[in-house]
A and B are shown apart, each in its own frame.
Chain A
Amino acid sequence: MILRLSNRACVLSGSARLKSTLSTYFDEMGKAGIILKSASAGIFENLALEDWIHDHVDLQNRSILLLWRNSPVVVIGRHQNPWQECNLPLMRRLGIPLARRRSGGGTVFHDFGNINMTFFTSKKKYDRHRNLKVVTSALKALRPDLDVTATDRFDILLNGHHKISGTAAKLGRTSAYHHCTLLCSVDRSILSSVLKSNTSEVIRSNATLSVPSPVKNLSDVDPTLDADTIMEAIASQFNNEFGFDSPVITVDPAHEALMPGIHKMTNDIQMWEWIYGKTPKFSVCTSLVVDDVNIKLDMDIKSGTVEKCVVEIPEDWLPPETVNEFTSALNGSKYCPNEAAVLVAAFMRTRSMSADVAGKIHRLCEGVLSVM
């Protein structure tokens, strides 16, 4: 199964012995500690890899560290509201996808300048402080003068002030995982613009909220620190801290033969019903100005679907029946600008209306879409 062994790294491929899965490979290895590195830069594949390991690998007497990086993506926590946490229209324009993870915590931006680390253990051995100590010790081993400390909220701060790492965790039946980020050389201007919601003030919700913090990259204080060097140091410190001796094993999460069921997990975590549909019930209450007319918009959204849509419009601007039909078209639809636009277009095609009314509906629709 092992194709290449070089400098304590090896790459796994399932083609040699198709009967073996990653799980049985670990059993055969017989090591108490294992370090993995994902070969993928895809957020959904990597989140699925985490889920697969959590569900299929026996972690009662084994701990695993997984190192991974992603192309640009915004990741929200399990119980968060993306409309409150990030600028979805900007993300769509920039082609930056949104993902929802299964662990708790707040919203983060990943790109190749960010390292993700996931520590898998039994529930008994779950110890976030000890895991963060691996990270801070690794950084100090590389650069002894670096001022990096973990807080009691499980953040890591640089120079006591700037956040360079955030943490989240998931606890299951018998095992748990703790993952955290590490800002090495992330694009900070994109980070700050995508993590600022354009609609948070109009949303009422009980979803968990992120705590915004000033951030910095490690490369800002030391340009010679790069992600690869840091990952190697973390792997080494993981072995030191826990008394393990694992090489870094590269795993390809697209490999279904190695991890049966991972394709389905990857698909499930990309579904609209998971990413947007799992948003806790919320309501949107705002005033729009269309054609110098004040319009009150009130919507209730449950499971990402519009449950109630009320629009208060002066009667002389648009007839109430037309307004009611407009809101009915949106009721029961996904709270999504593409879907709403399609529904309103269909609504307009099936009714005869004057060009004036059609223009107003079109502009009203644009106003409604702007909050989605």
Chain B
Amino acid sequence: MAMSTILRCASVGLTSSLPRLSKRNSLAPARLLARTCYKRFLNTTAPFCAALKFTDKHEWVRVDSGVATVGISNFAQEALGDVVYCGLPEVGANLSQSDEFGTLESVKAASELYSPLTGEVTDVNDALADNPGLVNKSCYKDGWLMKMTVSVPEELNGLMDEAAYERYIKSIED
């Protein structure tokens, strides 16, 4: 996505070098375009963009505009089996990283859920009350569990990115 942006800027007479683009450009007619290119470039590489991070307890978290959405990974939902009940926290609950925040029940087993971050619960997925199977069917999207604020953003650095999580799963399976 970044590559095509730069080429487009180059074709309208702007320099195509990346450092130039990322500096706020003072050329008036080009500035609007530069800013657009700059913004698009930022969205794909900034550390606070919406990429999934994972805990070793198989929860994922995605931060968007300061709000973290939390769910369980595909590995976890497969291991659990059909989820029949989601026990989620109350909105407003304050959680520290690793606190138990809820329970998922599947085939008579209750599995505890652990908070990936420190923060306050702002929303829980009410759709799961009548449709707990969403956790299995769409664990990264419609089966999200809760949203929370991010009180300690540094905690995100300690979580695994997708590639590291894939390696982690392989190591457990062996």
Among A153, A171, A208, which residue has its beta carbon within 8 angstroms of that of B111? A171
Asked if B121 is at the interface (CB within 8 A of a chain A CB), the reply is: no
Given A104-B105, A206-B130, A208-B105, are A79 and B87 also a contact pair (CB < 8 Å)? yes
Per-residue contact bits, chain B 95-123, to A (CB 8 Å; 1 contact, 0 not)? 00000000101111111101000000000
Chain B residues with Cβ under 8 A from A72's Cβ? none
Given A206-B130, A207-B85, A280-B85, are A77 and B108 also a contact pair (CB < 8 Å)? yes
Chain A residues with Cβ under 8 A from B106's Cβ? 104
Considering only residues 278-323 of chain A, those with a C-beta below 8 Å from chain B are: 280-281
Given A173-B57, A173-B114, are A103 and B85 also a contact pair (CB < 8 Å)? no
Among A103, A172, A280, A281, which residue has its beta carbon within 8 angstroms of that of B108? A103
Asked if A106 is at the interface (CB within 8 A of a chain B CB), the reply is: yes
Asked if B146 is at the interface (CB within 8 A of a chain A CB), the reply is: no
Chain A residues with Cβ under 8 A from B105's Cβ? 77-79, 104, 208
What CA separation (Å) do A103 and B85 show in the bound complex? 12
Nearest residue, chain A, Cβ from B114: A173
Asked if A105 is at the interface (CB within 8 A of a chain B CB), the reply is: yes
Considering only residues 57-111 of chain A, those with a C-beta below 8 Å from chain B are: 77-79, 102-106
Asked if B68 is at the interface (CB within 8 A of a chain A CB), the reply is: no
Per-residue contact bits, chain A 266-284, to B (CB 8 Å; 1 contact, 0 not)? 0000000000000011000
Chain B residues with Cβ under 8 A from A125's Cβ? none
Instruction: Give, as a whole number of angstroms, the nearest-CB distance from B134 to chain A.
Output: 13
User: Which of the segments A162-170, A247-255, A343-351 contacts the partner chain?
Assistant: A162-170
Asked if A244 is at the interface (CB within 8 A of a chain B CB), the reply is: no
Asked if A112 is at the interface (CB within 8 A of a chain B CB), the reply is: no
Asked if B129 is at the interface (CB within 8 A of a chain A CB), the reply is: yes
- Structural contact, A172 and B112, CB atoms closer than 8 A: yes
- Structural contact, A167 and B85, CB atoms closer than 8 A: no
Considering only residues 223-269 of chain A, those with a C-beta below 8 Å from chain B are: none
- Structural contact, A169 and B112, CB atoms closer than 8 A: no
- Structural contact, B108 and A167, CB atoms closer than 8 A: yes
What CA separation (Å) do A355 and B108 show in the bound complex? 52
- Structural contact, B114 and A208, CB atoms closer than 8 A: no
Q: How many residues of B contact A (CB 8 A)?
A: 17
Considering only residues 177-216 of chain A, those with a C-beta below 8 Å from chain B are: 206-208
Asked if A154 is at the interface (CB within 8 A of a chain B CB), the reply is: yes
What CA separation (Å) do A167 and B106 show in the bound complex? 12
Among A106, A168, A173, which residue has its beta carbon within 8 angstroms of that of B109? A168
Q: How many residues of A contact B (CB 8 A)?
A: 22
- Structural contact, A168 and B112, CB atoms closer than 8 A: no
- Structural contact, A79 and B130, CB atoms closer than 8 A: no
What CA separation (Å) do A169 and B111 show in the bound complex? 8
Chain A residues with Cβ under 8 A from B85's Cβ? 79, 104, 206-208, 280
What CA separation (Å) do A168 and B85 show in the bound complex? 14
Instruction: Give, as a whole number of angstroms, the nearest-CB distance from B131 to chain A.
Output: 9
Q: Pick from B105, B110, B112, B114 the residue with the most CB of A within 10 Å.
A: B110
- Structural contact, A170 and B109, CB atoms closer than 8 A: yes
Instruction: Give, as a whole number of angstroms, the nearest-CB distance from A276 to chain B.
Output: 16
- Structural contact, B110 and A102, CB atoms closer than 8 A: yes
Per-residue contact bits, chain B 117-145, to A (CB 8 Å; 1 contact, 0 not)? 00000000000011010000000000000
Given A104-B108, A104-B109, A167-B108, are A78 and B87 also a contact pair (CB < 8 Å)? yes
Instruction: Give, as a whole number of angstroms, the nearest-CB distance from B56 to chain A.
Output: 10
Chain A residues with Cβ under 8 A from B72's Cβ? none
Chain B residues with Cβ under 8 A from A280's Cβ? 85, 87, 129
Chain A residues with Cβ under 8 A from B110's Cβ? 77-79, 102-104, 168-171
- Structural contact, B84 and A208, CB atoms closer than 8 A: yes
Nearest residue, chain B, Cβ from A105: B108
Residues of B within 8 A of A (CB): 57, 84-85, 87, 103, 105-112, 114, 129-130, 132
Residues of A within 8 A of B (CB): 77-79, 102-106, 153-154, 167-173, 206-208, 280-281
Give 10 CB contacts A-B under 8 Å.
A79-B103, A103-B110, A153-B107, A154-B108, A171-B109, A206-B85, A206-B132, A208-B85, A208-B105, A280-B85
In order of increasing CB-CB distance, the 5 nearest A-B pairs are A105-B108, A169-B109, A104-B110, A104-B105, A171-B111
